[in-house]
Structures are given as structure tokens and as C-alpha cells.
Structure 1
Amino acid sequence: MKKIKTIVFLLTMPLLLLSFSNCGGAQEVNDNKTFVQNPPFKIAEAYYQNWVAGIKDGGSGTNIHIIFSEINSDVVIQNIYFRNHILEAKGNINEPKQFVGYLKNETQRDIVMDADPMKEAQNTLSKAFPFQLEENQAVLEYWFGGKKNYFKIENLSQKEMIPYPQANPNQHE
């Protein structure tokens, strides 16, 4: 009887420990993703603007612009979450209250399916996007007071698309 109890214990304990470790892992993914209601800044304008290059294979994309009317000097703007992409928020030293995220549309890449696992290893896995956003919403990730914060921008406006010219019109042949 003692052997049966020992076997049951040895079989049950790893399952129990594994189930607790999975709960903790699932919880960690959702931690710290709550939105700040009163951020240490005020946004004057937030919009996105599509663009297309005027040359073959020049690409296309979307630029997300965030312009602040007020921003605490201790705020560090880091990323913009937009349309399932995490974009680095780039500032300009001449315009300290303006940040832009650049989203370039990438050409669809084929997935490699091969008997050779080394060839299949070239496939990149997409990371899970942490937010569910509408087409005209974005999340701003920033540091303030020593911790990472998130602010949801509800209604980005869309500005007219920029069609870049094929060549420099001032350039003579």
C-alpha cells in the first residue's frame, strides 16, 4: 500500500507543479499592460499618413505622427503600437514635442517548407501582439517615474497619402 501511495505521489506532484508554473507564465504576459488614464503629457495631434514610393520596388508604408502640446521633461517616449506592429518612436531634436513611428509595408515572404530542418529554421515566428486595437487606434509606450506605462490613443486621424515622385524634378539629365 505504501508503494502505491509513493507512485501516485510521484506521478501527481510533477503535474501539479507544472500546472502552477503555467498559471504564472500566463499571468506574466498580461501584467503591466493597463492603460494610464491621466498621462504626464497632452497630445495636440495624432495622425497617420500612408505613403508610396514613385519608383518600382520603392515600397510603401504608413507614418504615425504624435505631436504633444505639453510633455513632462521626465517622460521618455519609446514605442508606438499600431496595426499589429511595434514601431520605435523617433523624435527630432529640432522638434522635441514631435514623434514619428515608421511602418514600411514588407513584401510577403514565402514560408520555407523543407525536409531539412535547417532550411525551415529560416522562418521567423511572429510575436503575439499585446493589444487589440482598431485601425485608427494606437498605444504609446513611455517611461515615467522609473516604470513603463501605456497610453491608448483612441482616434488617430488619417491625412492624405503622400505619393513620392519618381525622380527629383530639379535634377537635369
Structure 2
Amino acid sequence: MKPLRNTIATLLVVLLFNHCSSVPKLQKDAPKALKEVYYQKWNSGLKNGDSGIDLYVKLRDNNIVLDLVYFRGQVSRFKNSQHDSTLFIAQFNSQIKKPISLKDSSLSSFQINDNECVIRYSRQKNKTQLYYKISNIKIQETINYPIYPTKI
């Protein structure tokens, strides 16, 4: 009976340590490439239309690649701006009540405030995934889109 108890106890300890190592660790120092981070709320012009938040991350250079972000209870992928290779944008729709289902749900294990986010990124030379928590994200003025496009 004792060997079975010891085996079960050993198995539990191994599983516990294995689970702890799967939680991503935050980098202490900010990536040097980060220049500016802000978010902007938007509303559609339709009566029952969508609304949401766009999160913008401006880099100093292209030494890092932004992948995922966890912000206000949702996970989103970054998209690179078509006009600026150092600008990354993540979009969050307020109609979605739970985080987007992505392979990396471990981002949602971080405790963050409304003006904070956790980004997953990698360096150009090294593809290792790193995590960093950004605090005190600035808010820009809300965009209220018109019902009909304005004529130019």
C-alpha cells in the first residue's frame, strides 16, 4: 500500500510543477522597441451597430514582432498597419462577451486593470515567445462614425 501512496504523491508533485512551468512569465524590462501605446473607443453610426476598442502599439524599429494581446478580458491578434510597418493594431469588439478562442489561452491568466494589457512578442533574431505587461495605457478621443459615409 505504501508504494502506491508514494507513487501517487510523486505523480501529483510532478504534475503540479509541470503546470506551474506552463504559465508564461512576464519580462521585467520593457522591450526597447516600444515607443507609444494607446487605445481608442469607436462607435458605429447605426442604431444597434457595433462598438469596440482599437489598441495601437507604435514601435521605434522592427526588432520585435507583436503577436497577441490580452486587454480588458479579451485576447486578440495584432495586425501590422498597411501604411506604417512600425504600427500594430489589435481590435476588440464590445459585442463579444468572452475572449477569442486562440491556442494561447494562458494570456488570460494574468491579472490586469482596464488601462493595462499583456503582449506576446518575439525578437526578430530569436523566435522565443516573450510576455510583457504594459501599464498606464493612454486613451484617445472616441471615434463616432457617421451613419452614412461623408461625400468627398
User: TM class, shorter-chain normalised?
Assistant: 0.7 to 0.9
Please point out which of 16, 20, 24 is paired with 1:23: 16
Residue identity in the other structure for 1:67: K
SS of residue matched to 1:49: strand
Question: Percent sequence identity over matched residues?
Answer: 24
Q: Which residue of structure 2 aligns with residue 138 of structure 1? A: 117
For structure 1, the 5+ residue unaligned runs are 1-6, 110-126
Superposed CA offset, 1:127-157 (max 9, x none): 5612111111112211122211122222111
Instruction: Give the alignment of 1:20-59 within 5 angstroms.
Output: 20-30=13-23, 32-43=24-35, 45-59=36-50
Residue identity in the other structure for 2:118: V
CA RMSD in angstroms comes to 2.4
Q: Which residue of structure 1 aligns with residue 60 of structure 2? A: 69
Structure 1 residues 20 and 108 mapped into 2: Cα distance closer, same or farther (>3 Å)? closer
Q: TM-score, normalised by structure 1?
A: 0.71
**1:33 shift after superposition:** 1.8
Q: TM-score, normalised by structure 2?
A: 0.80
Residue identity in the other structure for 1:79: L
Q: Which residue of structure 1 aligns with residue 101 of structure 2? A: none
Superposed CA offset, 1:14-66 (max 9, x none): 52143123312431232x422240524131x2111111111133211110011
CA contact (8 A) 2:26 2:133 kept: no
Where in structure 1 do 4 or more consecutive aligned residues deviate above 6 Å? Answer: none
Residue identity in the other structure for 1:24: F
Q: Which has the larger radius of gyration?
A: 1
